[in-house]
Structure 1
Amino acid sequence: MTLLLLLLVLGLVIYGLERNHHRMPKPRARLHGNVDAFWPH
């Protein structure tokens, strides 16, 4: 149960980072390898 809750929280955090990508100047090459090529920082 604890592991499932942890995965849910982690998923929500990643989802929040995905939505706020244009607000955060810090590049994430592992998650946005192709996106960063089109979104200059």
Structure 2
Amino acid sequence: LKPEEQEICNALNRRTEFRVLRTTYGLFDEHGNLKIEALKPQK
């Protein structure tokens, strides 16, 4: 890309908004049960 095109792309990337879909990601197993290891503090 030309430098001015790259700057336009960079500006668009900076404006990208993200939305949190869920805060429980990884807390439950495939049966919907709470994972005990998910509650342990990460080292």
TM category (shorter chain) comes to 0.3 to 0.5
Q: Which has the larger radius of gyration?
A: 2
Which of 1 and 2 has higher RCO (CA within 8 Å, sep 6+)?
Answer: 1
Name the structure where helix makes up a greater proportion of residues: 1
TM-score (norm 2): 0.37
